[in-house]
A and B are shown apart, each in its own frame.
Chain A
Amino acid sequence: MNQQPFLRIFTAPATLCAIGFLAAMVAVLQYSLRAYVPGSLDPGGFTLANFADLLKPLYARVFLDTVVVCAMTAVVTLIVGYPLAYALVRVEQPVLRSILLVIVVTPLFLGEVVRTYAWIIVLGNNGFINSLLMSLGIIGKPLQLMFTPFGVVVALVHVTLPVMVIMLAAGLSHIDRDYSRAAESLGAGPIRVFLTVTLPLSLPGVVAGTTTAFAWTFSAFATPQLIGGGRVNMISNLVYQLGFSSFNFPFAATLCVAGLALTALVLGLLQLASRPLQKIEVH
């Protein structure tokens, strides 16, 4: 008798999808090694010139900006997300918990455009914050919040927060509460229990959350495009601009490949740096 019924039928569609996706990624890799023929949609012969172009100050600058924005967003999201994740896991009341969960999760599914648009209204010169501060007489003329790295990071933190909270909460919820109860019964105060028991045990969640936040921010397009307004450029914006304004798809592909390499490098380093921390985990 067949020991693994349906194996072939069930694996075939997934394999097809995997091949299709792999083909798309190979297409990017292949284009990154082709020459750009101005005025033509078809690429020229094979060359490494695109990768040499990455070192030009203009492009190196965008890479640096991208990494700085991603790192800042990841760190701020972690600091803002931790208390919320903690509350989400520890709230006992079912109704309160559901409300909290819906508030946290809804933005995750709203999409980047709606959320970015909302931040334009909050941060704009005639926007909510400036109108509020001016009517209170705190400032005389509008603060420049749009088209600044600050505005971009604030909006990106908002975009990344739900994922961070979910990952942190997943980590926190799997900590055996007997550990903190034991520490309490031995006389440790709440802050001491948190710092010496809960926080170290939640570090795997922290690493997972920070890693994901970094990767998500790297992928953001609408937020830096609309709130950065050309003054804060990330790799995603450059890729789109190269592809759809100058039809330089080979160099756009090169940027994608370099971006992937960069994310892999940063995430790899983050994993490596966190390895000693994760040994603390007790089981």
Chain B
Amino acid sequence: MIPRSTYQRVLRLVGLLTVLVIIAFLVLPAAVVTIAAFNDKPILSFPPQTWSWRWFGRALAYEDFRQGFFNGLIVTAWSSTIALCVGGMFAFVIDRYKFPLKSAIEGILISPLVIPHFTVGLGFLILAAQVGLSRGFAVVVICHVILVLPFVLRSVYVSLRNLDQSYEYAAASLGAGPLRVLTTVTLPLLLPGLVSGWLFAAILSFNEFTASLFVTSQRTQTLPVAMYNYVREFADPSMAALSVMYIVGTAALIAFANAFLGLGKVLNIEQSH
């Protein structure tokens, strides 16, 4: 019989290799895109014979990408901020109060998590036509608010659960009114949850594609929609260069969020023992 320690070591090694292979699978597309972005030739070929930075310049100068980027910023700024306000306030009342239709409203606002984005997009497209709203930024923003709201609700709700309410009682017993307690005690304590909720909402909104494809027009198209249209028409590495910038930007934001807010806590995957 093999001694237990050797057996365990072999088992650990197999486990480690499995995890490494899976990580390789996760990272492979990003790595390949990065190589492709530096290929000097305008068509796809591996490995690249000559290298260049020129596709990065091309991507940054491409009008549809620029327009999409700024449209995306407008939509993201509005929708994540509105979602933070609406979701933050509602998470507060869900946590603290009982009132009629509470679970009904909560259920409706959480449901976009399981309703396909193409259905949500089609719904807002039809609704906008029915109420006579033109396909401007308003429809896109409303649609995005609905799509990111579940994430904001969850993020703020988790921080409210972890909040020690005795600070609020102390403030109230010392004579602070409800508004004063809220603004000077509750809000500052909730700040990490609010920031992470806003950040997740912003990242999700900026990257949302399927519903945006339905509700944006040529004038309001966001960056993912512009990228999709580009991929359908052109095959040069400009898109690869843009993808690299995207991947680096997103990874930096996530690493930042992890360092300052603790992603493990937000995602609820901290080991309990």
Contact = CB atoms under 8 A, between A and B. Distances in A.
Interface of A: 2, 4-7, 9-11, 13-15, 17-18, 20-25, 27-28, 31, 41, 80, 83-84, 86-90, 97-98, 100-107, 109-122, 124, 126-128, 131-132, 158, 161, 166, 169-170, 172-174, 176-178, 189-191, 212, 215, 218-222, 226, 235-236, 239-240, 243, 249, 252-253, 256, 259-260, 263, 267
Nearest to B34: A118
Contact of B118 (A11, A106, A240): A240
A41 to B, nearest CB: 7
Interface of B: 4, 7-8, 11, 15, 18-19, 22-23, 25-30, 32-33, 35-36, 43-47, 85-87, 89-90, 92-93, 96-97, 99, 101, 104-105, 108-109, 111-120, 122-127, 129-130, 142, 145-146, 149, 178-179, 182, 203-204, 207-210, 213-214, 224, 227-228, 231-232, 239-240, 243, 246-247, 250-251, 253-255, 258-259, 263-264, 267-273
26 contacts: A6-B178, A11-B105, A13-B90, A17-B86, A20-B146, A98-B255, A101-B264, A102-B258, A103-B23, A105-B263, A107-B30, A115-B29, A121-B32, A127-B32, A158-B25, A161-B26, A173-B272, A177-B271, A215-B116, A219-B118, A221-B210, A221-B213, A243-B122, A252-B122, A253-B122, A256-B119
Most buried by A among B8, B33, B96, B145: B33
Contacts of A215: 113-114, 116
A191 B15 CA distance: 11
Contacts of A174: 272
Contacts of B22: 80, 83-84
Most buried by A among B85, B126, B214: B126
Most buried by B among A101, A176, A178: A101
B26 A27 contact: no
Contact of B26 (A103, A112, A221, A240): A103
A107 B267 contact: no
Given A20-B146, A190-B11, A259 B119 contact: yes
A138 to B, nearest CB: 15
Contacts of B269: 88-89, 166, 169-170, 172-173
A107 B263 contact: no
Nearest to B255: A102
A117 B227 contact: yes
A96 B248 CA distance: 19
B109 A118 contact: no
A105 B254 contact: yes
A11 B208 contact: no
Contact of A11 (B27, B90, B115): B90
A24 B118 contact: no
Given A7-B99, A11-B99, A222-B209, A18 B126 contact: no
A103 B27 contact: yes
A177 B93 contact: no
